[in-house]
Amino acid sequence: MNKRKALGAALLSMTMGLSMFAAGAFGQAPETQDSYRVLVQGPAAEKAKAKDQFGTRWDFGAKGFTTTVNAKQYQALLKNKNLKVETVSQVQLEAKPGSGAQAAPSDRTPWGMEAIYNDSNLQATSGGNGVKVAVLDTGVNVNHTDLAGSDEQCKDFTNRRTPLVNGSCTDKNGHGTHVAGTVLAHGGSGKGIYGVAPDADLWAYKVLNDQGSGYSDDIAGAIQHAADEAVRTKSHVVISMSLGSSSKSSMIADAVNYAYGKGVLVVAAAGNSGPNADTIGYPGALTNAVAVAALEDVQENGTYRVADFSSRGNPATDGDYVIQERDVEVSAPGRAIESTWYDGSYNTISGTSMATPHVSGLAAKIWAENPNMSHTQLRAELQNRAKSNDILGGSGAASGDDYASGFGFPRVK
């Protein structure tokens, strides 16, 4: 286990942390700006007129439609008393990725892989065949040697002129490629790194731009699209979202419910606003999303604790073994996680963003081994595999289901 000390030491020199849950990130648009992304609601006839006049980016049916308008058009919409107009909220990365990338991985099976496989001698990983993992993030370098050949879909939902561009998912940020690697990196040419489920298929959905920000309607549209693709392809699909905010977006919530209703398992980060209670972010806090907290290895001895930055859930529901809104569900490695990087190299970063793909990969691995499972049965299996008696820093509910670690840490074995 000593090989992980170098990773931890390197991480201490990095201050970015890629925390994604700044308070107020879903704020209103400024009073004066060049363009506005808006949600338009109202009677069908009035919405139809507005669509003809301003165009449609995403149509959410009875929930309204979104469009991008200039300042003059925005004022015109506000003056229409028959319409309800709201600016669309945004997700924002708190910091840009820092330095620390290296040409080759320091460990082909990083500590998170060893931990989730419960094998300190792990040399390689396997599994996930046939399961699709939709990574909604800053895009993915699908040509990275450890990810090449894994991408089945590559789509951009951030283009200003059109809501969906097929065959484009370029990542110039790093975060999305890092997340994808933790899910399904396959070791490349024999010198690369491994993810939890290297045989899974990657659906790389770019929903955040290169600066790490994105509109909630684009994220909702991507969630809905993944669900529709799951139905079209008759596939088991896991949506992995290492993004969020302290505020709830109704569009994203509706999209998560839609996907869950189509049999898709939705996994999302709990947030990096800990250690206080009731700091969990959305969409992880939604009932139909599996919220993942971040663990760190205590003195590298196989005992884990919830990282101080990891957002906590609602302590009032400790020990009830029922997932409600604003509950943490499970935990996974999230401190000093090494994975693939956007420029073909490797990087070590921390956050619940890094814990989430461990669980997404595990879900894909379990589903591939048990294809007759429903998504709800798969979710129950993740909970059943989770144990919190080897996790420190929870609420003290030794038998599991506490507001810091949830049911605990689910593993391969």
**Catalytic residue positions, numbered:** 137, 175, 353
Exposed, middle or buried, 146 (CB in 10 Å: 0-12/13-18/19+)? buried
Q: Write out the two tokens for 232.
A: 């079209």
Cβ–Cβ < 8 Å for 353, 372: no
DSSP SS3 for 365: helix
Question: Does an H or E element contain 355, and which?
Answer: helix 352-369
* Cβ atoms 385, 271 nearer than 8 A: no
Cβ atoms 214, 176 nearer than 8 A: no
Q: Which amino acid belongs to residue 140?
A: V
67-98 burial: b if 16+ Cβ within 10 Å, else e: bbbeeebbeebeeeeebebebbbbbbbeeebe
